[in-house]
Structure 1
């Protein structure tokens, strides 16, 4: 097994494991894996910074990520700690600037999907790309509903 196909199999297994893309069939995971990259980050490393142009999304496979936002006095305030799942996915869908910074709070293993890779997948494997985009949209809408629920609870 070549390094490339071994890496592809590792990425495929992580995609199957992350629970985001349950609508994909086994063979489709293998195809999708070819468009994702694997990154290892050290504790304290910035994954992306608030205000950056968003060019990729991440799926946290292992480790913890600190989400930070700059407050009115210019201080970075931690607003969440992620332990698993996707983040930064809005940037891949809308290309807007990052609304927060993400910093590795521990050693992290991430899957990343670049905007270019997603475009490429849309051209080469449109059905699979559509399922990936749909899964991201569902994950985002769930998060928004949760935030709305929290806001209503605070009123």
Structure 2
């Protein structure tokens, strides 16, 4: 096995910092780092658009990302502003559906990216680590859904 690259070490450290993957061991982070990549996105740049095929997901390392939907009247509505440590785009990667929203860099961003193909490769190469990552994403999605349910219920009262 080759020595880990500086880039893989940086990705490993970012994965450890994001807080999403508390169930992973140090060796798991090192192994997972080879499946992620880093991207830099300038403020105002679209990361992906509503309706696009979901070929990758992101975790914010630095910066903020606006989640936007277009209303029936054509108005763009910002649904949320995501900060460091938040994952986004994972729904499309997990379920194979098209993007449910547009995500735009609200400031200059550094992102960790996990492609659908890389996740499939991780499932084949390192299934236990992939399972931990998918479980962490599912827990994150579940928390968001519960929050949204609570907000909907509060609006009904």
Measured in 2, the distance between the counterparts of 1:123 and 1:101 equals 30
Structure 1 length-normalised TM: 0.95
Measured in 1, the distance between the counterparts of 2:92 and 2:35 equals 17
Measured in 2, the distance between the counterparts of 1:148 and 1:106 equals 29
User: What per-residue deviation string (whole Å, max 9, x for no partner) do you get for residues 17-51 of structure 1?
Assistant: 11111110001100000000100011111100000
- 2:121 maps to what in 1? 120
- 1:15 Cα deviation (Å)? 0.3
Measured in 2, the distance between the counterparts of 1:6 and 1:90 equals 30
- 2:56 maps to what in 1? 56
Structure 2 counterpart SS, 1:153: helix
- 1:75 Cα deviation (Å)? 2.3
How many residues are aligned here?
Answer: 152
Measured in 1, the distance between the counterparts of 2:66 and 2:128 equals 33
Structure 1 counterpart SS, 2:5: helix
Structure 1 counterpart SS, 2:35: coil
- 1:133 Cα deviation (Å)? 0.4
Structure 2 length-normalised TM: 0.94
Measured in 2, the distance between the counterparts of 1:45 and 1:29 equals 29
